[in-house]
């Protein structure tokens, strides 16, 4: 798979970079700024470049990260857990940052996947406009189906800056979502074990 920085962004296939930069300049005017003052001359270019990073997940197929697996696990059939995977996303309602951590687990059927690939799946779905609920489900379903595992579990604990820096201004508010598939969905004991293991 090509690195996302080597790929022409989908957004640039529909609208030119120049048009995007002009749109940012228009927003600067809308908020009462002068896009021609020295400190803001390069801002539209920087914002467009930042957006390419923030939303690079649209160019990635997360399932491809799960294609290379390893079968030499000597019958291991308990859960594999990866904790504290950092999340940087943006809410689709205000385009405000969502910052937090994801905890991911799966029970292998016959094969396991490299641990970095779990984090890449999380990153691919995070770098899109999201709701936390959908993000949690997308990660869990991708791992469950992509690895043909017995089950998967995902828990996300995140701060939504659309709540903490605007609106109701609840600085300490955090949102927690959980989603279970397969054997995790069917077993309350597995759910409890997972939630116990991810506690700090």
**Catalytic residue check, 132:** yes
Among 20, 14, 21, CA closest to 43? 21
- Contact yes or no for 97/86 (Cβ under 8 A): no
Q: Is 64 exposed, middle or buried (0-12, 13-18, 19+ CB in 10 A)?
A: middle
53 is catalytic: no
Choice among 19, 42, 84, 93 that is catalytic: 93
Q: Is 93 a catalytic residue?
A: yes
Q: Cα 6 vs. chain centroid, distance in angstroms?
A: 20
Q: Per the residue annotation, which of 21, 52, 90, 91 is the catalytic one?
A: 91
Catalytic residue among 64, 94, 110, 161: 94
Q: Active site residue: 33, 64, 88, 92, which one?
A: 92
| 121 and 139 Cβ atoms separated by less than 8 Å | yes
d(CA 25, CA 30): 9
Which of 90, 103, 150, 160 is labelled catalytic?
Answer: 160
Q: Which of 132, 171, 188, 191 is catalytic?
A: 132
Are 87 and 125 in contact by the 8 Å Cβ rule? The answer is no
191 catalytic per annotation: no
Catalytic residue among 21, 130, 150, 162: 162
Beta-bridged to residue 181, according to DSSP, are 152
**8 Å CB contact between 22 and 16:** no
Rounded CA gap, 71 and 91, in Å? 38
Task: Give the residue from 76, 82, 99, 118 showing the smallest Cα distance to 198.
Answer: 82
Q: What is the largest CA-CA distance in the chain?
A: 65
Would residue 92 show up in a list of annotated catalytic residues for this protein? Answer: yes
Give the residue numbers annotated as catalytic, written as ranges: 91-94, 132, 160, 162
């Amino acid at each position: 798979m090509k690195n996302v920085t080597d790929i022409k962004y989908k957004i640039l296939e529909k609208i030119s970079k120049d048009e995007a930069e002009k749109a940012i300049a228009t927003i600067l005017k809308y908020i009462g700024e002068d896009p021609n003052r020295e400190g803001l001359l390069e801002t539209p270019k920087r914002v467009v470049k930042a957006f390419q990073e923030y939303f690079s997940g649209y160019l990635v197929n997360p399932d491809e990260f799960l294609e290379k697996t390893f079968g030499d696990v000597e019958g291991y059939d308990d859960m594999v857990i990866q904790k504290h995977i950092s999340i940087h996303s943006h809410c689709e309602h205000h385009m405000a940052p969502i910052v937090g951590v994801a905890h991911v687990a799966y029970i292998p059927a016959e094969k396991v996947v490299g641990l970095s690939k779990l984090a890449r799946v999380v990153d691919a779905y995070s770098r899109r406009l999201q709701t936390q609920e959908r993000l949690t489900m997308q990660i869990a379903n991708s791992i469950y189906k992509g690895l043909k595992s017995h089950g998967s579990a995902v828990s996300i604990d995140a701060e939504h800056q659309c709540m903490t820096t605007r609106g109701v201004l609840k600085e300490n508010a955090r949102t927690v979502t959980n989603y279970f598939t397969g054997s995790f969905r069917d077993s309350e004991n597995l759910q409890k074990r997972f939630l116990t293991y991810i506690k700090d």
